[in-house]
Structure 1
Amino acid sequence: MTFEELTQALNEAMDQEDTLAIERLVAEMQPPDLAEFVRHESPEVSLKLLTHLPLEERAEAFGYLELEKQCELALKMTEEGLSQLFVHMNSDERADLFNELPEERQEGILRRMAQDEREDIRRLASYEEGTAGAVMTSDYVTVPAGVTVGRALDIVRQTAPNAETIYQIYILDQAQQLLGTLSLRQLILAKPEAVVDGLMTTDLVSINVHEEQEEASRLISRYDLLALPVVDDQQRLVGIVTYDDAMDVAEEEATEDIHKSASVGPLDEGFGKARITSLYRRRVNWLVLLVFANILSGAGIAFYEETIEAYVVLVFFLPLLVASGGNAGSQASTLMIRGLATGDVGARDWGKLLSRELVVSASLGLTMAATIAGIGFWRGGMDIAQVVAYSMFAIVVVGSLIGMSLPFMLNKLGWDPATASAPLVTSIADIVGVLIYFAIATSILDLG
């Protein structure tokens, strides 16, 4: 059955309180699908559904839930049940959940776990949020340097059941320093008597445990890795970041950038579950600041009051012109922010990008000026046509250059380029557009 069919059948079974049907349908569901169903249910119903699964599968489905939902369910569980669940969860997921639990609950869980697992949770939970250490897992396969392929395969068989991925094997020296990597394919195809040192790849891509998690995501994407080894300051292997965790980081960062580009603060609980007060707080600050910024547009209009009185027809074109500058600036800003975020462009590209944007924006300005010139002639004659055409060209060029330059400037100052959001760029372009428009009008219409 499809997910939709399973969902409908499970809802019907729950309405009829058919325990046997519920158990069968829950067992049929894939862990991500069950998590999708459970996240919309109450904590009591969610826990009852999850208990129909064997402990290992329950932990897998639990791991697909949002952290907020995990914490909500964890607080409803007994310490014994939660500690058993922790044993079967991925090490990075349980560390994240551990950090969200009250201190007394943390102590209760740790008391019921083996010493190695306690130390692993404490170590992973100690890394600062947003670093590679905070998203890495300690469930990986290592073999010591100098062993034969046959011995390495024995080690893989012993440790594989608890590993998150076994496709990449890491070779360590006696000090636990990372010497190289070996794929499972290479290991299987090699002769049993061969030594792993002669087969491993020593040209390593790794990341320090304290570097930002976004860098881990970029490295995995750039080098097309299944997992990225994480090392400490002594080059000792302390964990790996898997590609699925990197995808979660990339999604989180993309969401954050999209929110910033719209001048919205981060929503920890997600838009669907965000409270009205939270949405209000995340949006009000920038909107109020931009109100004061737009007062400058009004001041510019007031400064050219005599020009407007002499040619009221100019007001007709004002919204069109300033909106065009803001739109062009927003386009340039969006392209630049995304380019900086993905590493496609950097500070070294400033000169080339500036000259290219000048050519592109000039072409756009000429096209839009030609489009509006006819309307200007129809509304006010040749002089008005010249004013709106020249203004359109200048406003589009300046707006585009503002949109391209602002993210660069912020990046140079060490700020997030996404702060150069569309509303901010639009507000600046509006102010500049008003001044350009009426300055050109005053000059051409000889009102100075």
Structure 2
Amino acid sequence: MNSATLPPSAAEALHPADLATLLEKREPGTAWETLTTLPLPRRAETFGYLSPACQAAVAAFSPTPALAELLTAMDADERADLWARLPEEAREALGRALAAAEREDIRRLAAYPPGTAGAVMTSEYAVLSPSLSARDAIEALRGQAATKETISVAYVLSSERRLLGTVTLEDLVLSPAALGVAALMRPDPPSVGADEPAPDAARLVQRYDLPAVPVLDSTGAMVGIVTADDAMDVAEAEATEDFEKAGGTGAGLVAEMGRASVPLLYSKRVGWLVALVFANILSGAGIAAFEETISANLALVFFLPLLIASAGNAGSQAATLTVRAMATGEVRMADWGRLIAREALVALALGVTMAVAVAGIGVWRGGAEIALVVALTMVLVVLAGSLVGLSLPFLLDRLRLDPASASAPLVTSLADIAGVLVYFSIAAAVLKG
């Protein structure tokens, strides 16, 4: 790993995001030394692009006064996130070094539980009074611009900080100078509660194509905004977490994958795999229960991997589609009855198609009876796997568990067990003579 400090000219020539990528590959102390060569605004912007783990590691090498200076220059939401990741001793020292306004703002933002809209919002948003004219509103935004996340949209608030509406900078510029903000604003904009899940805010940004969504506290007063870039980060984190759970590794592994140690990778993956080893013993028990049927018809063994894999694949497909649809709000518990009926029809069509595809091989390997067993089993296991894959996320949601826990390994194991039992039960019934 290159530990050399970048020359100031090279560091300033890079985009902050590209510079952050280079600093991620250096030792934290070296990264901090490089950051100190940059002007404060650029230093704060570059620091904001570092991963959370890297930010905490680099912050540990910075003197308290310099870190306080950096936090003051960072965006409000980013410095609150960093504050939450620092050890208690560092927060106490920083609290004494920060100005009272920044200290209180950080503590207020950091007080919201992780995963809520309040935890990802910023308090740096433009505010206008409904009594202002368009001309005065533009001047007011000019005065706020240096300290706000964006002024492209301003939020019109009452004296009690109730959200009355929004007005864009474009509307103010293009309207007659004397026209009032109250006449220009768009009333009752979409908003989200500070204690609501952050993905809800991200979905509002996406659905209404908003540059930011306002965040309200329990009293209805506006306390912040979740910007489009933060909403993208939330959506990416949610999708990554779902993929991790679908793979049976738990949350947080992808973000650490490049630096993960062997013990960490082992601990993240071993739990599900060991649990499913014991679950798959049921498959072995099913095979053992039909030893006589198998020994009398060895051709059955040829089709076993194919059939249980087909069940698992169908189940994984259905589970993946369902989990993602639930995560995006496309489907809810009330939709289960409609979806299960539709999935049954789709699964039957898929099963029949796959049965036709393998029936000829069944005739070739073991004759008409074997072909019949394989075809019937194919239809039933694809049907069973699909219905299990679709229903398991709904069941977990009803139990107040994360639907993403209906991971591919779990669905596949359940489909394997069902496939073995169905296959050999049909074989025993058809081939008993």
TM bucket normalised to smaller:
over 0.9
Counterpart code for 2:172:
L
Counterpart contact for 2:138–2:169, Cα < 8 Å = no
Distance in 1 between residues matched to 2:337 and 2:120, nearest whole Å: 37
**Other-structure match for 1:446:** 432
**Other-structure match for 2:206:** 221
Provide the secondary structure at the position in 1 that maps to 2:256: coil
Deviation at 1:52, TM superposition (A): 2.2
Matched, 1:97 2:94: no
Provide the secondary structure at the position in 2 that maps to 1:182: strand
Q: Select the residue among 412, 416, 421 that pairs with 1:426.
A: 412
Matched, 1:353 2:368: no
Matched, 1:142 2:130: no
4+ runs of 1 displaced by more than 4 Å?
Answer: none
Counterpart code for 1:28:
A
**Other-structure match for 1:45:** 30
**Other-structure match for 1:4:** none
Distance in 2 between residues matched to 1:226 and 1:352, nearest whole Å: 35
Counterpart contact for 1:267–1:274, Cα < 8 Å = no
Unaligned runs of 5+ in 2: none
Distance in 1 between residues matched to 2:160 and 2:46, nearest whole Å: 37
Provide the secondary structure at the position in 1 that maps to 2:165: strand
**After the TM superposition, which residues 306-317 of structure 1 pair with which residues of structure 2 at under 5 Å, given as runs?**
306-317=292-303
Q: Deviations over 1:232-281 (max 9, x none)?
A: 11111100000111111111111110011011111265211222222212
**Other-structure match for 1:7:** none
**After the TM superposition, which residues 56-67 of structure 1 pair with which residues of structure 2 at under 5 Å, given as runs?**
56-67=41-52
Q: Select the residue among 100, 109, 112 that pairs with 1:127.
A: 112
Q: Select the residue among 204, 209, 215 that pairs with 1:230.
A: 215
Deviation at 1:353, TM superposition (A): 1.6
Deviation at 1:412, TM superposition (A): 2.4
Normalising to structure 1: TM-score of the pair?
0.93
Deviation at 1:224, TM superposition (A): 1.0
Q: Deviations over 1:130-152 (max 9, x none)?
A: 11111000111101221222221
**Other-structure match for 2:311:** 325
**Other-structure match for 1:202:** 187
**Other-structure match for 1:3:** none
Counterpart contact for 1:35–1:61, Cα < 8 Å = yes
**After the TM superposition, which residues 70-109 of structure 1 pair with which residues of structure 2 at under 5 Å, given as runs?**
70-109=55-94
Range with greater deviation from structure 2 (23-32 or 87-96): 23-32
Between Structure 1 and Structure 2, how many residues are aligned? 431
Distance in 1 between residues matched to 2:90 and 2:285, nearest whole Å: 59
Deviation at 1:203, TM superposition (A): 2.6
Distance in 1 between residues matched to 2:77 and 2:409, nearest whole Å: 37
Deviation at 1:189, TM superposition (A): 1.3
**Other-structure match for 1:367:** 353
Counterpart contact for 1:267–1:282, Cα < 8 Å = no
| Identity over aligned pairs, percent | 51
Counterpart code for 1:353:
L
Distance in 2 between residues matched to 1:350 and 1:71, nearest whole Å: 44
Counterpart contact for 2:215–2:224, Cα < 8 Å = yes
Range with greater deviation from structure 2 (376-385 or 262-271): 262-271
**After the TM superposition, which residues 262-411 of structure 1 pair with which residues of structure 2 at under 5 Å, given as runs?**
262-267=247-252, 269-411=255-397
Unaligned runs of 5+ in 1: 1-10
CA RMSD of aligned residues (A): 1.5
Q: Select the residue among 398, 402, 412 that pairs with 1:412.
A: 398
Counterpart code for 2:151:
I
Counterpart code for 2:46:
A
**After the TM superposition, which residues 5-16 of structure 1 pair with which residues of structure 2 at under 5 Å, given as runs?**
none
Distance in 1 between residues matched to 2:244 and 2:336, nearest whole Å: 25
Distance in 1 between residues matched to 2:88 and 2:246, nearest whole Å: 37
Counterpart contact for 2:163–2:188, Cα < 8 Å = no
Q: Deviations over 1:111-137 (max 9, x none)?
A: 222221111111111111111111000
Normalising to structure 2: TM-score of the pair?
0.96
Distance in 1 between residues matched to 2:151 and 2:169, nearest whole Å: 7
Distance in 2 between residues matched to 1:127 and 1:250, nearest whole Å: 19
Q: Select the residue among 166, 174, 184 that pairs with 2:169.
A: 184
Counterpart contact for 1:391–1:440, Cα < 8 Å = yes
Provide the secondary structure at the position in 2 that maps to 1:229: strand
Distance in 2 between residues matched to 1:382 and 1:52, nearest whole Å: 79
Distance in 2 between residues matched to 1:108 and 1:145, nearest whole Å: 42
Deviation at 1:366, TM superposition (A): 1.1
